[in-house]
Structure 1
Amino acid sequence: MAGEKNDNWSSQEYQHSAAFVPKLATKVVQWLDVGPDDVILDIGCGDGLLDVEFGHVLAQGKGFLHGIDASPAMIEAATEAVAAAGVQSNCTFHGTFLDANSLAGAPSLPRDGFTKAFSNAALHWILRPETAAAASSFFAAVRDRLVQGGTLVFEMGGLGNVAEMRTALLMASARRVGMARAVAADPWFFPDEAWVRRQLEGRGWEVEKVEREWRPTKAGEGGVEGWVRLMGKEFLRAVEEEAGKEAVEEVVREAAEALRVVCDDGDGGEMISYVRLRCLARKL
């Protein structure tokens, strides 16, 4: 998750407005194919919902999972989740700042020996626009922690992801702070399949599968406004810094009003245009 100085995440807010994220990870979890003796690195583990699922499989053998996330709130939620599920002896979680440059020096993690590395809905925060050029070193750090033949499986936002949400936040924020400042606050990096291949192929990886899928997704309980408040916090922080708290509520209201029209699913709910980019690569 994003942010070293500011924890943008609350497990309660996440469940209210983005609980669908781990629930829609069926395909990428199938690609991961967790075995009872796997040693897994979960990059951007979030609230641990998927790790509970993995933990039950690992408990059948000698497997173990190390989850890392930049959000203390999410680390706490994940730790509580595996304890409640009775798989805490097979899972541990580490809080560490995550960006494209930091994984190689991440504390409290084994330096190698992982059979699988996994990430769901996190890399588009970690590989932020200003650090995307350093992605090759990030993937190299993941590679170096894997055993020979180990796999990397990830799903992230792909090119075109949440375009309507991003546009509404950019336009509403730009009215208060200018377009340049709004663009600078945009925290997301949504690449395509060709970008993935450029980062991995010829650099110690064999890309076995990579695909991009448009996956229209029903908004969570908080609707589009809840999504804007949770996912758009970098925009809202920029607005507050330059235009004050009242302007933040104006941005939320303006963006949400437009999005309720654009995202109307015709059945009393709201649909968000998610585009998912997923990859399965093997260490050579």
Structure 2
Amino acid sequence: MQKNQNIWNAEKYEKHADFVPRLAFPLIDLLGDIKGKKILDVGCGDGTLTLELVNRGADVIGIDSSPEMVKASKSKGIKAILGTATDLPFYEEFDAVFSNAVLHWVPEAEKALENIAKSLKDGGIFVAEFGGKGNIQSIIQAMEQVFEENPEFGKFKNIWYFPDANEYKSLLEKAGFKVEYIELIPRPTPIDHIQNWLEIFTNVYTSHLAKSQINLFRSRVRELLKSRLYTPEKGWVADYVRLRLKAVKNYRLVKSALNSYIDNMI
């Protein structure tokens, strides 16, 4: 299994985390008219958004690091392969790269952007949205506290990458992109229950624990978060902050970035 890899259950994801693709439909609009365009969906998940790209007339390939999600995408008739954002097997093949709710799982941001740039044709578009600075801050703090309260769990290490707009813009430019738009967007997000959210998105942190310890972890996190993220009127609302962007590959900038990298290696 890839390092820092969450284990995904496509059925539970579709049932309890359908808000992830549903709230990202406006992101597709940033691509403009995609009819007849060749698009790579990086982190296609269960294929919900990938299918929307196909329905809008694009020729789409999805790639995901989870065999379960690749299988779910294929069941929708989508061309999907197993792979990661840091090792894309493409070269100047796509008119656009699309990615939703994935790149905060990829701390090797520079390597991912180099691979995305490599996969795009010159002038190709990169559109993405993922967790930005401050995303799920309350949840992370609660998880950290529970690990501190239970030293037998080991040391908590946050593996998510939540950059601010300026930081990520610099990385995009370094990879050879001209940034047309980038924005950090606070987006409190209703979820059906924090217990389901923890089961789907945090098993990367609890896979080494016994079942009784996992139950303790989830119940205690829920207890800590109830006063912050739950109200009888609105239910559970996670403190999401998203980083949304649109950038264009510029061959001249890519070549300059590559030359700079080679110079530093000599």
Could you say which TM-score interval applies, normalised by the shorter chain? 0.7 to 0.9
Partner of 1:77: 72
Q: Distance in 1 between the 2:147 and 2:15 partners?
A: 24
My pick for the range that moved more, 171-180 or 160-169, is 171-180
Q: Is the 8 A contact 1:212 1:278 kept in 2?
A: yes
- Once the two structures are TM-superposed, the CA of residue 6 in structure 1 deviates from its matched residue by 6.1
Partner of 1:19: 18
Q: Is the 8 A contact 1:4 1:70 kept in 2?
A: no
What is the total number of aligned residue pairs between the two structures?
250
Q: Distance in 2 between the 1:178 and 1:161 partners?
A: 27
Structure 1: which amino acid aligns with 2:45?
G
1:171-186 mapped onto 2 (5 Å cutoff): 171-177=145-151, 181-183=155-157, 186=158
Residues 22-48 of structure 1 deviation map (CA, whole Å, 9 limit, x = unaligned): 000033211122511111111101000
Partner of 1:255: 221
Q: Is the 8 A contact 1:115 1:151 kept in 2?
A: yes
Partner of 1:92: 79
Residues 251-277 of structure 1 deviation map (CA, whole Å, 9 limit, x = unaligned): 111111222222113415111111000
Structure 2: which amino acid aligns with 1:168?
A
Aligned pair partner of 2:137 in 163, 182, 188: 163
Partner of 1:211: 183
Aligned pair partner of 1:233 in 176, 196, 203: 203
- Once the two structures are TM-superposed, the CA of residue 203 in structure 1 deviates from its matched residue by 3.7
Give 5+ residue unaligned stretches, structure 2.
251-266
Q: Is the 8 A contact 2:39 2:60 kept in 1?
A: yes
CA distance 1:16–1:178, change in 2 (3 Å): same
Partner of 1:269: 235
TM-score, normalisation: structure 2: 0.87
Q: Is the 8 A contact 1:176 1:247 kept in 2?
A: no
Give 5+ residue unaligned stretches, structure 1.
84-90
CA distance 1:124–1:209, change in 2 (3 Å): same
Task: Tell me the percent identity.
Answer: 28
Residues 120-149 of structure 1 deviation map (CA, whole Å, 9 limit, x = unaligned): 00000122xxx3xxx223212211211111
Q: Is the 8 A contact 2:42 2:99 kept in 1?
A: yes
TM-score, normalisation: structure 1: 0.82
Q: Distance in 1 between the 2:205 and 2:225 partners?
A: 16
Q: Is the 8 A contact 2:230 2:236 kept in 1?
A: yes
Partner of 1:87: none
